[in-house]
Amino acid sequence: MLKTNPNNPERGKIGRAAAIIRRGGTVAFPTETVYGLGANALDAKAVKRVFVAKGRPFDDPLIVHISHMQELYGLVKNVDARAKILAEKFWPGPLTLVMNCSDIVPRITTGNLDSVAIRMPNNKIALALIEKAGLPIAAPSANLFGKPSPTSAHHVKEDLHGKIDAIIDGGKTRIGVESTVLDLTFKIPVILRPGEITRDKIEKAIGKIKVHSLVRKKGGARGKMIARAPGMKYKHYAPKAHLIVIKKSANFWAQVRKLSSNYAKNKVGVITSKNSRDRNGFIVKSLGRNAKQAAKNIFRIFREFDRSGVEIIISEGIPEKGLGMAVMNRMRKAADRVL
Strand 210-211, strand 190-193: pairing: parallel
Residue 141 touching Mg ion (CB under 5 A): yes
Counts of helices then strands in the chain (DSSP H, E): 10, 16
Distances (CA, A) of 68 to 74, 105, 122: 11, 17, 12
Show Cβ contacts of residue 23 under 8 Å, excluding neighbours closer than 6 positions: none
H-helix or E-strand containing 295? helix 291-307
Quick one: which segment of 113-121, 139-147, 206-214, 294-302 binds Mg ion (CB under 5 A)? 139-147
Find the shortest distance in angstroms from Cβ 56 to ligand TXA.
8
Residue nearest to ligand TXA (CB): 231
Under 8 Å between Cβ of 268 and 123: no
Find the shortest distance in angstroms from Cβ 210 to ligand TXA.
14
Residues forming contacts to ligand TXA in the complex (CB under 6 A) are: 31, 33-34, 36, 60-63, 94, 96, 98, 110, 113, 115-117, 121, 139-141, 178-179, 181, 183, 192-193, 230-232
Quick one: which segment of 22-30, 136-144, 257-265, 311-319 binds Mg ion (CB under 5 A)? 136-144
Q: Which does 179 bind (CB under 5 to 8 A by kind): ligand TXA, Mg ion, none?
A: ligand TXA
Distance (Å, whole) CA 90 – CA 93 = 5
Closest CB to ligand TXA among 148 and 230? 230
Distance (Å, whole) CA 324 – CA 10 = 35
Residue 26 touching Mg ion (CB under 5 A): no
Find the shortest distance in angstroms from Cβ 60 to Mg ion.
8
Find the shortest distance in angstroms from Cβ 108 to ligand TXA.
12
Find the shortest distance in angstroms from Cβ 195 to ligand TXA.
7
Closest CB to ligand TXA among 46 and 181? 181
Closest CB to ligand TXA among 121 and 324? 121
Closest to 249 in 3D by CA, of 312, 326, 298, 314: 314
User: In the chain, what is the greatest distance between 2 CA atoms, to the nearest angstrom?
Assistant: 59
Buried b (16+ CB within 10 A) or exposed e, 182-192: bbbbeeebbbb
Find the shortest distance in angstroms from Cβ 266 to Mg ion.
30
- Binding footprint of Mg ion on the chain (CB under 5 A): 141
